[in-house]
Amino acid sequence: MSLDLDPRQRAMLKEMGVHVWQPPAAELAAPRAAAEPSSTSAYQAAVQALQTPVQALVQAPAPAPLSSPTPAAVSTPASPVPIEAVAGLDWPALAQTVASCQACKLCTGRRAPVFGAAANAPVPPRADWLVVTEPPEEDEERAGSPLVGANGQLFDNMLKAVGVRRIAEQVSPAHAAYLTHVVKCRPAQVRVPDAQELAICAQYLAREVALVQPKVILALGRFAALSLLRAQHPETAGTPLGQLRGTVYQFQGVPVIVSYHPSTLLRTPLAKAAAWADLCLARSVIPVA
């Protein structure tokens, strides 16, 4: 696939340190063994524990808690929606259910869940791209939005380079990306979610996929990738992120492409070229209207 890039998009890629080139299809398909840098955050540091199979991960002892702001009080909804009913929720009900969710211990001490759309959204947002990223960081929890700050600026520029931007009222689904976290809460004692917690939030994610109706899912980071892939692709457990790239997987019948989290690209600029190849691969699997 080749992309028609205008001068603004080429300048944007140049600032990112990415040479505009399209790797051969065979190179895209080949696994890339790349070193995945460590993270300064507790969640991303915990992602390194995913070098072991998922079963071992969820049984591993949680890392020592970091200092964090005083936990905010969590109110109990008067009539909580049973988690098994998530599959039948419309968009506003789903957003409100996530906002008041106490189905697992990830809610302990959270400020607020980080959801991909506003609770008052009148209709389900539609987007050809659905981006699943790692559990919320502190700045994302404060902003109430996935990928903010330097991470968000870099990723937004990357999306613009392929003619896509975050979902907005003025953007058609073909040029829109819906961003969400693989789990919605950042607990006061930052740790790796366990299997039960992942399963609960996976139902929210599955409903988001059903409502957004994406044509491709981009998984940013190894934790997000394995959380999406472990059910339908158990062979990926224990596989480094570099070797998960370059392959088209499936989640609920939607193609899944694995790539690096923007924080990795900021720490390792040489990985930006690989991330650009991932975006090209993701765009290539979207059916032409």
pLDDT tens-digit profile of 203-241?
999 999 999 999 999 999 988 998 899 888 989 988 999
| Any domain includes 238 | yes
| Angle of CA points 238, 239, 244, to nearest 5° | 150
Domain harbouring 183, CATH code: 3.40.470.10
| Any domain includes 27 | no
Query: How many domains are contained in the chain?
Result: 1
| Any domain includes 113 | yes
Its domain, for residue 225, covers: 40-57+80-284
| Any domain includes 65 | no
Sign of the four-CA dihedral 95, 96, 101, 107:
positive
pLDDT given at position 191? 87
| Any domain includes 3 | no
pLDDT tens-digit profile of 151-187?
999 999 999 999 999 987 678 899 999 999 999 999 8
Q: Global pTM? A: 0.73
pLDDT tens-digit profile of 48-74?
433 333 333 233 333 344 334 333 443
| Any domain includes 91 | yes
Q: Please give the structure tokens belonging to residue 253.
A: 């019948």
pLDDT given at position 188? 82
* Percent of residues, the chain, with pLDDT higher than 70: 68
CB atoms within 10 A of CB 6: 9
Is residue 80 scored above 50 in pLDDT? no
| Any domain includes 255 | yes
Q: Answer whether 140's CB lies under 8 Å from 267's CB.
A: no
Q: Answer whether 33's CB lies under 8 Å from 261's CB.
A: no
| Any domain includes 187 | yes
pLDDT given at position 148? 94
Measured CA to CA, the distance from residue 58 to residue 196 in angstroms comes to 9
pLDDT given at position 81? 54
